[in-house]
Amino acid sequence: MKKHPLNYVGYPAPLSVAEARARGATDYDIRSTRRFLPASWGIRFDDDSSTRFPVPTWADDKWVEEAQLLLAMSHRHPGIVACRETAARLYGWPLPRALDDATLHLGSADPNKRIRRSGIALHRLRNLSTVEWLKLPVLHPLPTFAQLAPLCSVTSLVQIGDAAVGDWKTPPQFSLTSLNEYVSDTKYLRSRSKLEAAAELIREDVDSPMETDLRLWLIARGLPEPIVHPAVYCPTTNLTLHPDLGYPEQMLALEYEGDFHRISEDQWATDIDRVNALRAAGWTVIRVAKWTDRRQLERDIRLHLGLNPK
């Protein structure tokens, strides 16, 4: 499993207006100074008091702002958790663009709970399963994933699921076995058939959504499903390499090259060494990028697999 380093960022402490007054602040101080920045109605951030919070190295300013607002809202409304799209963003899952908005989605088990604030959506949850994720109150990953089913296509669910059970941005947040058990055992599950279809296509050890997209495209084109990260011993380097996707019997490897592979000289050199080692081991390597001609790619794969062209 890869290590996922964290940064530590000082979050200003959330406090109520009453708590600010108890610390000696006047109403003028609360309204007009930069020390008490507004977080929500009745809640301020005390810029003179902060706590160090773990933040993923991949997190951007938007992630930090969302985490801080969640802390402020949980200070004012104890028991609420991040859910749906907000929880997915905090977990680092690859949401489709249509769902990656600025709304803070919160969940509560209290059927009478109300939060009336622009930019916040409150969802009343029958079963509130909470975890502490990077010191944040977040709905457990499994029900969070299930919440996304009515909002996503099966393809998007597979991309999210591959990320959740994989090890590319964060450690695995649930296993494929636990997902299947959750879908099977949970009553009143919306879009159950969509979740079941996605679970059949989710694979562990996937590196990126682009890799997922390539694998699903191959299946949709009627090609055999490739193995994720097949083990290939390369005698010239005395190493076992794991190409992105492969067909071990036909000794065909598919390597997806993102922009980072193109603009990083070190990564480019590493990629060349990998391809040379795989080829020296007798494997054919087909490199795939965002703008690859998929029709030609399909013809090349079919030819190598000995399949009839379409």
pLDDT in tens, 164-207: 999 878 889 999 999 999 999 999 899 999 999 999 999 999 98
Third-level CATH fold of 209-305: Endonuclease; Chain A (3.40.960)
User: What is the percent of the chain with per-residue pLDDT over 90, rounded to a whole number?
Assistant: 64
Better-scored residue on pLDDT, 274 or 26: 274
Within the chain, strands assigned E span 6-16, 36-40, 43-56, 81-82, 104-108, 120-124, 130-133, 136-139, 227-228, 232-234, 239-241, 245-247, 252-256, 284-288
Kindly state the DSSP code that residue 249 receives in the 8-state scheme: G
* pLDDT at 124 (0 to 100): 92
Please give the Cα distance from 215 to 157 (Å, whole number): 14
Count Cα neighbours of 88 within 13 Å in the Cβ-side half-sphere: 28
Kindly state the DSSP code that residue 223 receives in the 8-state scheme: P
- For the whole model, what pTM was predicted? 0.88
* pLDDT at 49 (0 to 100): 80
- The pLDDT mean for the chain works out to 90
Confidence of residue 259 (pLDDT cuts 50, 70, 90): low
- Indicate the domain borders of the chain: 1-76, 209-305
* pLDDT at 164 (0 to 100): 96
For the segment 9-60, what is each residue's pLDDT rounded down to a tens digit?
Answer: 888 888 777 777 877 777 777 676 677 777 776 787 877 788 889 999 999 9
Mean pLDDT, rounded, for 208-226: 95
